[in-house]
Amino acid sequence: MRMVLATGNAGKLAELTRMLEGYGVEVVSQAYLGIDPPVETGVTFVENALLKARHCAEHSGLPAAADDSGLVVPALDGEPGVYSARYAGPEGDDAANNRKLLAELAACDGDRRATFHCVMVYLRHGADPAPLIAHGSWHGSIAEAPRGTQGFGYDPLFEDPELGRTGAELDAPEKDARSHRGQALRALIDGLAAELRR
């Protein structure tokens, strides 16, 4: 089975491809197929994930999967939320986003709780009226300074409370077992497997 993954993020592509090994699914990125990403106009993770998957399915003629994920910090009224990847502006990178997050939290009352959310969707075709939708969440807190060299995005700042380590200090299997994306992907795979057994 061939599926297009609606992302240009190399870290996400590697993470999701690794987790789909052994399922008989060939994953190709939208960039590989020459598909430009759509403008993300949704105000929720669900809306953006559906928008991205539908765009890829329509332009490729293949089943498509997409995720939309981000960090929600209650002390910042839910920011960066759906704007996590572009929190520091459209030209900002992961380091700039992390610097902005630390600066914004420095002005708060000390509440450093945070939750990573991931919504993953799968569309069988561009007009699929009943997509599979899965959600995962990873609760933790924001560290005082970046730690670790693994992962991407906010991983160097996001500390898992049980392990006392940031996402960037976890190896790939540890992160996959705990992360919001790992949870969402496992739920999506369960849904796909149930559908194939029908």
Q: Which residues are catalytic?
A: 68
What is the rounded CA–CA span in Å between residue 143 and residue 126?
A: 41
Q: What is the C-alpha separation between 65 and 12, in angstroms, rounded?
A: 12
- In sequence order, which residues have a C-beta less than 8 Å from that of residue 12 and are 6 or more positions away? 5, 67, 152, 181
> Would residue 30 be called left, alpha or beta, if left means φ above 0 and alpha means ψ between -120 and 50 degrees?
alpha
CB atoms within 10 A of CB 158: 28
Tokens of 15: 């993470």
In angstroms, the CA 190 to CA 134 distance is 10
- Helix H or strand E encompassing 120: strand 113-123
Residue that has been written with the tokens 């160097």 in this structure: 156
Give CA 85 to chain center in angstroms: 10
Q: Which residues, in sequence order, are bridge partners of residue 158?
A: 142
